[in-house]
Amino acid sequence: MDNAREAMSNWIESLQAQGAVINADNTVSLTAKASGGTVIPLLHQRVLTVTGPDSEKFLQGQLSCDLAQTLASGSSMGSHCNIKGHMISLFRVITIADGFMLRLHNDIHDIAAQTLGKYIIFSKAEIAKPGDAVVGIGLQGENAAELAKIAVSELPAETNGVSQQGDRTLISVPGGRYELWLPQEDAVALLPELLALGQLGDSNDWLLSEVRAAIPDLRTATIEAFIPQMTNLQALNGVSFTKGCYTGQEIVTRLQHRGQLKRPMYRLKSACDTLPQAGDTVFSDSKENAGQVVVAARNEAGECELLAVVIKEQADNDILHLQAQDGPVATVEELPYELDPKMFEAKNRL
């Protein structure tokens, strides 16, 4: 067994010893479910790294976010689009000592590396796939900051900020939460210290927090399904309309300045028996295909909470349903950020 696999095996065994069940889709569930997990293995996510002298220049010409702003804040959301402006991959872009780390869902890890790799050949930069060598831990709840201080001595001052200490990278993310990325062997050693203060949580705990923070995700089923603004990425500083050219920029910018956004992302809640999956259809009383699910999770009451891209006219004026046109009703919940109302106005194209 090579060192990376041995380290991953040790990490998995450490989690299993605490009652974690590792599922085939890389999600984590618990044998004895506790409420409000605060230390959450992020096995459903992975990272890519882009390093080298041209790393910023390369990503600036590919991703929808402004890398200058990312460097200033520490991290930001960002997407890689095809030439038609539809997202192939969706990241949290994180500054590190020698370049950038791109955190994304495990589902799209390989295709994201492959598509970015097509453009990097003439740049003095390289894409690496740390794979199992680097793992993530989510920290949330009332004592999230205390937990984070166990990992690094100085916390980021603001949301989206980054603190690095040795090989540990800590990111402050919306909702008073933190993501910690570190080598597996380091995670194994750190886990008992974290669990002395917090309690182990499962993947659903983290996904529920992501849904409530209205942070979109991309899965295999939704690759090339959405333009960035359809997932509210501009409200999360994940789209720049002033930085210049990047792949798909013409379509993205045209929608912003000359078009009308007809399908934004909504937060929905429903008393559904079956948890919706990414790519599932959202129905309305008057339309069989009113929208598409982005990500979903169960809440404390057993209800489904989800993010979905929905036709605005349907969401505003009709009753939405999951699973079928006569299926469970889905109510629209308030977003934690505001969307510019001008995006929904018809514009004079002359």
- pLDDT tens track for 153-185: 999 999 999 999 999 999 999 999 999 999 999
pLDDT (0 to 100) of residue 348: 60
User: Confidence class of residue 37 from pLDDT cuts 50, 70 and 90?
Assistant: confident
- The pLDDT of residue 347 is above 90: no
Query: Span 54-71, mean pLDDT?
Result: 96
**Mean of pLDDT over the chain:** 93
Given a contact cutoff of 8 angstroms between Cβ atoms, the answer to whether 221 and 278 are in contact is: yes
Long-range contacts at 340-349 (CB < 8 A, ≥ 24 apart):
340/234, 343/229, 343/234, 343/256, 343/260, 343/261, 343/264, 344/260, 344/261, 344/262, 344/264, 344/312, 345/260, 346/260, 347/257, 347/258, 347/259, 347/260, 349/258
Q: How far apart are the first and last CA of the chain?
A: 65
Domain covering 220-344 in this structure, CATH number: 2.40.30.160
Per domain, the residue ranges of the chain are 3-212, 220-344
User: Confidence class of residue 90 from pLDDT cuts 50, 70 and 90?
Assistant: very high
pLDDT (0 to 100) of residue 1: 42
Residues 251, 259: Cα–Cα separation, whole Å: 10
Query: Span 29-55, mean pLDDT?
Result: 91
User: Confidence class of residue 131 from pLDDT cuts 50, 70 and 90?
Assistant: confident
- pLDDT tens track for 5-31: 555 689 999 999 999 999 999 999 998
- pLDDT tens track for 201-238: 999 999 999 999 999 999 999 999 999 999 999 999 99
pLDDT (0 to 100) of residue 197: 95
- CA gyration radius, the chain: 20
Query: Span 96-125, mean pLDDT?
Result: 95
Q: Which residues of 119-150 are buried (b: 16+ CB within 10 A; e: fewer)?
A: ebeebebebebbebbbbbbbbbbeebeebbbb
Query: What backbone torsions phi and psi does residue 75 show, to the nearest 5 degrees?
Result: -155, 165
Least confident of 18-32, 75-89, 242-256: 242-256
User: Confidence class of residue 253 from pLDDT cuts 50, 70 and 90?
Assistant: confident
pLDDT (0 to 100) of residue 350: 42
Residues 241, 260: Cα–Cα separation, whole Å: 15
Fold agreement between 3-212 and 220-344? no
Class of domain 3-212: alpha beta
- The pLDDT of residue 349 is above 80: no
Query: What backbone torsions phi and psi does residue 255 show, to the nearest 5 degrees?
Result: -60, -40
pLDDT (0 to 100) of residue 132: 83
Pairing of strands 45-51, 99-105: antiparallel
Q: Which residues contact 195 (CB under 8 A, 6 or more apart)?
A: 18, 39
Q: Please state the pTM of the whole predicted model.
A: 0.94
- The pLDDT of residue 337 is above 80: yes
pLDDT (0 to 100) of residue 338: 95
- The pLDDT of residue 4 is above 80: no
